[in-house]
Amino acid sequence: MKVLLIFPPDWLPSEPYLSLPALTSVLRPAGHEVIQRDINVDMYDLMFSERFLRHVQNRIDFELRHLQVVADQRGLDQEEGELRRQLEVWDEPSLQALIRDVTEAKRILRCEDFYDIDKLEWATHILHTTMAYISLGYYPAQICFPPIETELVYKPFMSSEILEALDDTQINVYRDVYRFLLADVIEQEKPDVVGISIVQQKQLISTFTFAKLIKEQAPNTHITIGGNIVTRLRDALMEKGGLFQFVDTAVLYEGESAFLKLVNALEAGETDLTHLPNLICRTEHGLQKNKDVFAEDMDKLPPPDFDGLPLEKYFVPRLILPYLATRGCYWGKCTFCDHFQGYVEGYRTKQIGQITEEIRFLQNKYGNRHFHFTDESYPPALFRKLSRSLIDNKIDIAWTTHMRFEETLLDEEVWRVAAESGCRYLHFGYESGNKRVLDLMDKATNLDAIRTNLRMSSKFGIWNHIMGFFGFPGEKPEEAEDSKRFCHENREHIHSLGFMTFVLGRFSPVAMEPEKYGLTAYKNPEWDLALDYYFTVDEGLSIQEALEVFDEFERDHDPKWDLRTAVREYIFLYVDRFGTNELTQLHVRPDQRPAVYNNPVGMV
């Protein structure tokens, strides 16, 4: 079978996402032809090109002609008048300058000039300016870089609005992305199966836009969707069913073996798919979620296969490859977290020898030095063993991963070995600096252990990024102050941080037992694809009060946490390049602060 795998927008184009290479690694050895398309990185590469910017110019010219007709007929209202003024700014010399600048910006991000922070910051500014120009061509959409901020007017947490967005030729930029990047692939390759991997909610609009257009162009193509978002929204997607008219199946939970079984069944001409594991399929009675479920044996999974992805297009000067050694979270108790919904079994890991050899294999095959271990939370035992194994096997890499603070990692030698093995940047789940609140979260984190982990990691040159939030149900104002105070008291060893306010995840333990945590959740039935809920609390900080605490922290925190780049992959590369976590050149300069920055604490 010929299988086309698609990773849709929007996601950061700093490294490949692992889902497509993981699927490819089991499909190709089984004899299937696989075409991998990271449409996300292809889209940004396209958007930052003269070809696409000229396309936007044509849309702007059309809109200006339309506004002139409206002006002649009845006059322009305030919004229309302001839009025309913004459109008219972009004359031919201005557009030529933008094309020249964005071409240079892409070059900077992909070469050694990246490590000059003035040039990196300039390039990032040009990308923001370019996206503002593109947004004018799709007004009132706000298409942004980084993509987390993109708003297409339509709400991705409502299936009714996603359906409405699919045929909107003014706002839905993904219709044009399809025409530029996918239509010819479908025509020339004629895939038997298309698989689309969805990892965040905003990808739903692009995913179903692509699916609808593929069905219009090639009606007999079998389309399946998968990813953690599909798993978490499985019941909601089936309940109304409107979006399922554009896809044939959905793969739930872990996808490698389940998707391979689906492709094999389709190759054999099977029409009854109800026996396949981890699958939603159509039957004569409607949509069905099959009973059989399957969890992967990690030892039997091959290393990811990145062949065919445009590895030269990612917006970094050095290729960063993702690698996953575990499934699930070894702790798995945090009451605010719902990541466990993506698995039918608990925590599992590959053996240390297999991990080491697969990293060596990937490094030799793709010639890269940098790895992102994308595990949900790297287990302390594996952290120690992998560090030692990389050194013993003389594997020269730089790596970053996600960690819990642990009392089992209080030995200074552990951190020295980790740094020697190439550990450069750690993303820590801090959450709170108050013991009672940490206990409510079931973090079981000792504050003294946090201090020690931070101090030891920092001592050996590792960049510590901590993540936390305000407003966990029942948290009192003075307890939120403890979180801020802890950060400032340990600021010497905290290099960056990302704070937010508590989000009530739809499938989190807190949402499952709201009365236990003293809250009331409000579920809007029209928001059928919502992944979180509005709520009120019996005591402690309300949502608004938590926002006020957050805003105050943004205004008053230590200036060292205001950085000239907030992309974690970029900081990771900087730490490795300069061999230190003391990167003062990344700090916002005093002269920049009033005009450009308003304390961008949150990191991407």
Question: pLDDT for 481-525, tens place per residue?
Answer: 999 999 999 999 999 999 999 999 999 999 999 999 999 999 999
Residue 599 pLDDT: 39
Instruction: Provide mean pLDDT across the span 151-156.
Output: 94
**The domains spanning 2-40+160-289 and 318-512+540-586 adopt the same CATH topology:** no
Of the pLDDT bands very low, low, confident and very high (cuts 50, 70, 90), residue 108 is very high
**Residue 405 burial (CB < 10 Å; 0-12/13-18/19+)?**
buried
Instruction: Provide mean pLDDT across the span 194-201.
Output: 96
Whether 506 contacts 533, CB under 8 Å: yes
**Residue 400 burial (CB < 10 Å; 0-12/13-18/19+)?**
buried
Answer whether CATH 3.20.20.70 is correct for domain 318-512+540-586.
yes
Residue 145 pLDDT: 84
424-439, pLDDT tens digit by residue? 999 999 999 999 999 9
Residue 219 pLDDT: 97
Average pLDDT, the chain: 95
Of the pLDDT bands very low, low, confident and very high (cuts 50, 70, 90), residue 594 is low
Residue 592 pLDDT: 85
**Better-predicted residue by pLDDT, 602 or 82:** 82
Residue 367 pLDDT: 97
Residue 232 pLDDT: 92
Q: What are phi and psi of 66, to 5 degrees?
A: -65, -45
| Rounded Cα gap, residues 537 and 373, in angstroms | 37
Of the pLDDT bands very low, low, confident and very high (cuts 50, 70, 90), residue 598 is very low
196: β partners = 6, 225
Instruction: Provide mean pLDDT across the span 168-187.
Output: 98
Residue 596 pLDDT: 40
Of the pLDDT bands very low, low, confident and very high (cuts 50, 70, 90), residue 346 is confident
19-34, pLDDT tens digit by residue? 999 999 999 999 999 9
231-245, 260-274, 490-504: least confident range: 231-245
218-227, 232-241, 258-267, 561-570: least confident range: 232-241
445-493, pLDDT tens digit by residue? 899 999 999 999 999 999 999 999 999 999 999 999 999 999 999 999 9
Kindly state the helix (H) or strand (E) to which residue 383 belongs, with its residue range: helix 380-392
**Selection from 107, 121, 106 nearest residue 574 by Cα:** 121
Residue 597 pLDDT: 39
Instruction: Provide mean pLDDT across the span 78-90.
Output: 96
Q: Does the pLDDT at position 43 exceed 80?
A: yes
End-to-end alpha carbon distance in the chain: 38
Which range has the top average pLDDT, 230-234, 416-420, 554-558? Answer: 416-420
Q: Does the pLDDT at position 161 exceed 50?
A: yes
Kindly state the helix (H) or strand (E) to which residue 207 belongs, with its residue range: helix 203-217
What residue ranges in 52-199 does DSSP mark as E strands? 193-197
Whether 59 contacts 138, CB under 8 Å: yes
Of the pLDDT bands very low, low, confident and very high (cuts 50, 70, 90), residue 412 is very high
Residue 21, token pair as written in the block: 């290479």
Count CA within 13 A, CB hemisphere, residue 202: 17
Residue 332 pLDDT: 87
Q: Does the pLDDT at position 88 exceed 70?
A: yes
Residue ranges of domains in the chain: 2-40+160-289, 48-149, 318-512+540-586
**Residue owning tokens 């398309």:** 37
| Rounded Cα gap, residues 143 and 132, in angstroms | 7
Of the pLDDT bands very low, low, confident and very high (cuts 50, 70, 90), residue 240 is confident
Residue 85, token pair as written in the block: 């003024």
Q: Does the pLDDT at position 601 exceed 50?
A: no
Residue 602 pLDDT: 38
Whether 230 contacts 259, CB under 8 Å: no
DSSP, collapsed to helix, strand or coil, labels residue 58 as helix
Q: Does the pLDDT at position 600 exceed 70?
A: no
Percent over 90 (pLDDT), the chain: 92
DSSP, collapsed to helix, strand or coil, labels residue 84 as helix
| pTM confidence score | 0.95
Cα separation values, 369 from 162, 320, 365, 395, Å: 40, 7, 11, 9
| Rounded Cα gap, residues 495 and 508, in angstroms | 30
CA dihedral 309, 312, 317, 323 (to 10 degrees): 20
Of the pLDDT bands very low, low, confident and very high (cuts 50, 70, 90), residue 604 is very low
**Residue 231 burial (CB < 10 Å; 0-12/13-18/19+)?**
buried
Answer whether CATH 1.10.260.40 is correct for domain 2-40+160-289.
no
Per 3-state DSSP, what percentage of the chain is helix, strand, and coil (rounded to 5)?
A: 45, 15, 40
